[in-house]
A and B are shown apart, each in its own frame.
Chain A
Amino acid sequence: MNEERLLKLFSDILQRLLGDDSIRLHPDTVRADIDGWDSFNYVNFIVAIEQELCVRFQVADVESFKTVGDIADETLRLLED
């Protein structure tokens, strides 16, 4: 799994959650860039990644991710572990 494939997976997940097929995520995307990506959908998004990739984020890390790139980096680290 590399960052590009992760971003494609992340985009698919968020499209499904928000019902918007036009969403494309990039490493520098922040939540404010996506209409309707509020705290609830963010938690949903995190759990969907956990389900899809069988990883588990630390609760305290969840709020510290600033960009989609930060989530991708941590996901890659968890996958390596």
Chain B
Amino acid sequence: MLFNSYTFLFGFLPVVLIVFLALKLRSVRLALTWLILSSIVFYAWWRPWNLLIIGPSLGVNFLIGRALLAVHGDKSRATLARWLLGAGILFNVCLLGYFKYANFTRSVLNDVAGTEFVLHSIVLPLGISFITFQKIAFLIDVHGGRIKDFSFRDFCLFVLFFPQLIAGPIVHYREMMPQFHALPRRMDREALAVGLTLLALGLFKKVIFADGVAGHISPLYAGAAAGAEITLIWAWIAALGFTLQIYFDFSAYSDMAAGLARCIGPKLPMNFFSPLKATNIIDFWARWHITLTRFLTAYIYNPVTLWLTRRRAKSGKTLLNHRQPALIPFMKILAFPTLLTMYISGLWHGAAYLFVAWGLLHGLYLVVNHAWRLFAPRYLPKLTRSSGFHKSFGFLLTFVAVVVAMVLFKGPTPQAAGEVLRGLAGLNGLSLPGSVTDKLSSFGGLDIATDTSSARDLILAAAWVFGLSIIALLMPNSLQLLARYQPVLEDIETVGRADGLMGRFFRWQPSFIWSLVIACLVVMAIVNIGGPSEFLYWQF
């Protein structure tokens, strides 16, 4: 069931919310049980047979979690605890591996070995990548003693909570369950107002912005996939347009998820915070899909880097530091774990060569950023002084790097991505609609090829890209807008409150004017909801 569908907005959500709030007045436990049942219906709506996969997986993880809890603290059974944890992680990874990577592995094998193995088609269960990571984090937390006790009902609620079930944020049990347990019986009107506002903002961003720009750039990628040449200006419109589409799509999803959770009560962790405003690529990853970055850092990057750094320290060598930077340790203990983590990140997004290439390219960006931080102050001191110019240059470089990498993310085929990348580099030349080239030729001396598009297509696509860029780069984000009411777990006032003129004007409060503005946005979004338009991150 899509968040941006009439079924969800006018059927599922009102029923679930009204019954939940009514039940909560009598008993929070009863209301939470209602929430679990509603989440099961939400999950099963698209493909009921998905329950046959998530159900047993839920049971196995619960039993392993309980077993881990039983042996925790008993030093004589530490080895058994490690084996149990290993078995739990292996079970989850194998489940994900089968559904997500079996066909990809087969096609890689066929490509490498020239074989022609055939595997039946495997349909990816909804949200399995997110659910798997969440369950792995849960088992690690139980093993580490960070979860002291849990019931089957709590575990089901943690895994199935519908606002974040399909595409995250990837949450920790320890940050969610205390909130559910502390829910008051009375109705929290402020939380409901903040939640509905976030939901409205997200819906507007998805239906108007993300789906709006998609209509202008999808034909370009379809053309590239069919073998058409994408020339310079069209390639930049395609790359910028898709970056803005996925930006607003994921921003919208994150707002809607956080808003839905807040309507019920709990705050979700921050998942998206104006990543296109980042001034370096490390900063970008601290703002884009924040809970995935947090998971990959905690469970892949940190263990690998810790192991390598401890080994280095044990052998008596100095740690890599800014006063004595050295290339070999940089490659071994910084570049390698970074590339490995981003390779896994790429593969997690999708079982395809393009996602792997996208992940590795971002890994390379991060390595270059780390190298700059480590080596430049020593070897290029004049270039590393912090100034407005450096920040602006850093922002521009990061923006272009992200936009170029997004071409790989979009695909849809390596040939199409290659065609758009060639266009970005100017290798396919420059072309404009006939009516535009006619006007330009009257100025004389300009020799620009003519393409089959119309001037209206070009102006509309460019206007969408320009307008959305301005909104993404200059406006406060939804969380900043609602900062006063703390809509997520993190304190937005300290993370990055929107200052200046924009920040002063755009600060939501429960007033008549704001309710009018939000109502207008909702009406615009609802009348523009078209056919099914999935969030881009739902496919992962």
Q: Spell out A's residues near B (CB within 8 Å).
A: 16-20, 32, 36, 38-40, 43-44, 46-48, 50-51, 58-64
The chain A residue sitting closest to B143, CB to CB, is A60
Asked if B321 contacts A17 (CB within 8 A), the reply is: yes
Beyond the given pairs A39-B301, A47-B313, A62-B306, 6 more chain A to chain B contacts, judged by CB atoms under 8 angstroms and listed by A's residue number, are: A19-B321, A39-B297, A40-B305, A46-B306, A47-B309, A48-B319
Number of A-B pairs whose CB atoms are under 8 Å? 65
Q: Give Cα A38–Cα B338 distance, bound, in whole angstroms.
A: 12
The smallest C-beta distance from B71 to any residue of chain A, in angstroms, reads: 16
Q: Give Cα A18–Cα B298 distance, bound, in whole angstroms.
A: 22
A18 — which chain B residues lie within 8 A by C-beta? 321-322
Asked if A61 contacts B144 (CB within 8 A), the reply is: yes
A40 — which chain B residues lie within 8 A by C-beta? 305, 334, 338, 370
Q: Give Cα A48–Cα B322 distance, bound, in whole angstroms.
A: 14
Q: Give Cα A50–Cα B309 distance, bound, in whole angstroms.
A: 11
Asked if B310 contacts A50 (CB within 8 A), the reply is: yes
Of B302, B323, B334, the residue contacting A59 (CB under 8 A) is B302
Asked if A36 contacts B373 (CB within 8 A), the reply is: yes
Interface residues of B in 356-376 (CB under 8 A from A): 370, 373
* B282 sits at the interface (CB 8 A): yes
The chain B residue sitting closest to A47, CB to CB, is B309
Q: Give Cα A51–Cα B377 distance, bound, in whole angstroms.
A: 26
Q: Give Cα A60–Cα B145 distance, bound, in whole angstroms.
A: 10
* B140 sits at the interface (CB 8 A): yes
The smallest C-beta distance from A51 to any residue of chain B, in angstroms, reads: 5
* B154 sits at the interface (CB 8 A): no
Of B140, B306, B338, the residue contacting A47 (CB under 8 A) is B306
The smallest C-beta distance from B321 to any residue of chain A, in angstroms, reads: 5
Given the known interface contacts A19-B322, A40-B334, A47-B319, the answer about A63 and B298 at a Cβ–Cβ threshold of 8 Å is yes
* B146 sits at the interface (CB 8 A): yes
Asked if A51 contacts B302 (CB within 8 A), the reply is: no
Asked if A43 contacts B302 (CB within 8 A), the reply is: yes
The chain B residue sitting closest to A40, CB to CB, is B334
Interface residues of B in 338-356 (CB under 8 A from A): 338
Task: Pick from B146, B297, B321, B377 the residue with the most CB of A within 10 Å.
Answer: B321
* B320 sits at the interface (CB 8 A): yes
The chain B residue sitting closest to A18, CB to CB, is B322
Asked if A17 contacts B302 (CB within 8 A), the reply is: no
Asked if B303 contacts A17 (CB within 8 A), the reply is: no
Q: Give Cα A17–Cα B320 distance, bound, in whole angstroms.
A: 7
The smallest C-beta distance from B284 to any residue of chain A, in angstroms, reads: 12
The chain B residue sitting closest to A31, CB to CB, is B286
A-B contact pairs, 14 of them (CB 8 A): A16-B321, A20-B322, A36-B322, A38-B370, A40-B305, A40-B334, A44-B321, A47-B306, A47-B310, A59-B302, A60-B298, A63-B302, A64-B146, A64-B298
The smallest C-beta distance from B337 to any residue of chain A, in angstroms, reads: 8
Asked if B334 contacts A19 (CB within 8 A), the reply is: no
Q: Give Cα A36–Cα B376 distance, bound, in whole angstroms.
A: 13
B297 — which chain A residues lie within 8 A by C-beta? 39, 63
The smallest C-beta distance from B381 to any residue of chain A, in angstroms, reads: 11
* B534 sits at the interface (CB 8 A): no
Q: Give Cα A18–Cα B140 distance, bound, in whole angstroms.
A: 31
Q: Give Cα A32–Cα B494 distance, bound, in whole angstroms.
A: 10
B310 — which chain A residues lie within 8 A by C-beta? 47, 50
Asked if B140 contacts A60 (CB within 8 A), the reply is: yes
* B497 sits at the interface (CB 8 A): no
The smallest C-beta distance from A54 to any residue of chain B, in angstroms, reads: 11
Asked if B294 contacts A19 (CB within 8 A), the reply is: no
The chain B residue sitting closest to A20, CB to CB, is B322
Asked if A19 contacts B377 (CB within 8 A), the reply is: yes
The smallest C-beta distance from B369 to any residue of chain A, in angstroms, reads: 9
Q: Give Cα A39–Cα B266 distance, bound, in whole angstroms.
A: 28
A64 — which chain B residues lie within 8 A by C-beta? 146, 298
Q: Give Cα A58–Cα B309 distance, bound, in whole angstroms.
A: 14
Q: Give Cα A63–Cα B294 distance, bound, in whole angstroms.
A: 8
Interface residues of B in 268-327 (CB under 8 A from A): 282, 294, 297-298, 301-303, 305-306, 309-310, 313, 319-323
Q: Give Cα A38–Cα B146 distance, bound, in whole angstroms.
A: 24
Asked if B313 contacts A50 (CB within 8 A), the reply is: yes
* A-B CB proximity, top 10 nearest: A19-B322, A63-B298, A60-B144, A47-B309, A43-B305, A17-B321, A19-B323, A59-B303, A44-B319, A51-B313
The smallest C-beta distance from A16 to any residue of chain B, in angstroms, reads: 6
Asked if A44 contacts B309 (CB within 8 A), the reply is: yes
Asked if A62 contacts B302 (CB within 8 A), the reply is: yes
Task: Pick from A16, A44, A64 the residue with the most CB of B within 10 Å.
Answer: A44
Task: Pick from A17, A43, A47 the residue with the most CB of B within 10 Å.
Answer: A43
The smallest C-beta distance from A58 to any residue of chain B, in angstroms, reads: 6
Q: Give Cα A42–Cα B313 distance, bound, in whole angstroms.
A: 15
Q: Give Cα A63–Cα B140 distance, bound, in whole angstroms.
A: 12
The chain B residue sitting closest to A59, CB to CB, is B303
Q: Give Cα A38–Cα B321 distance, bound, in whole angstroms.
A: 13
Q: Give Cα A50–Cα B282 distance, bound, in whole angstroms.
A: 26
A16 — which chain B residues lie within 8 A by C-beta? 321, 323
B377 — which chain A residues lie within 8 A by C-beta? 19
Q: Give Cα A32–Cα B263 distance, bound, in whole angstroms.
A: 30
